[in-house]
Amino acid sequence: VDDNPLNILVVQRQLERRGCLVLAATNGCECVDVWIAERKKLDFILLDFWMPELNGLEATKELRGLGANLPIIGLTADFTSATADEALEVGMSSVLLKPIVWDKLQRTLLQKLPRSAALTV
């Protein structure tokens, strides 16, 4: 989930190369709608912090309030300890700095995903 189409394209291509089916959204409202409609297909959510309409922190609160228990990984270029603390407080599973370091994303997903999720990141 990102409001920047180029960011979505880069992440989508990298994840698809690793065998993932990617559902994209451009803001937190779309993310919540996709989760409601497609929750059985989702293993994790990569969620930008700062987007129009509903930002990543607000979307995480809403998703957790609706019962979403999958890993939500926050992505931000504006990383401070206060930002990370706030993200974890609202229910994000982890926070990664943009641009994404793929090895770090892989380690994070392997830690956060249940062993039953078939993911070759």
Residue 121, pLDDT score: 45
The backbone torsions φ and ψ at residue 17, rounded to the nearest 5 degrees and listed phi first, read -60, -25
Residue 92, pLDDT score: 97
pTM, two decimal places? 0.91
Residue 57, pLDDT score: 96
Residue 110, pLDDT score: 87
Which of helix, strand or coil describes residue 75?
Answer: strand
Q: Cα separations (Å) of 21 from 11, 54, 57?
A: 12, 24, 24
Q: What is the CA 13 to chain-centroid distance, rounded? A: 15
Distance CA 67, CA 7 (A): 27
Q: For the chain, how long is the longest CA-to-CA vector?
A: 34
Distance CA 57, CA 63 (A): 10
pLDDT tens for each residue of the chain, 121 residues long: 999 999 999 999 999 998 889 999 999 999 999 999 999 999 999 999 999 999 999 999 999 999 999 999 999 988 788 889 999 999 999 999 999 999 999 899 888 887 655 455 4
Residue 81, pLDDT score: 86
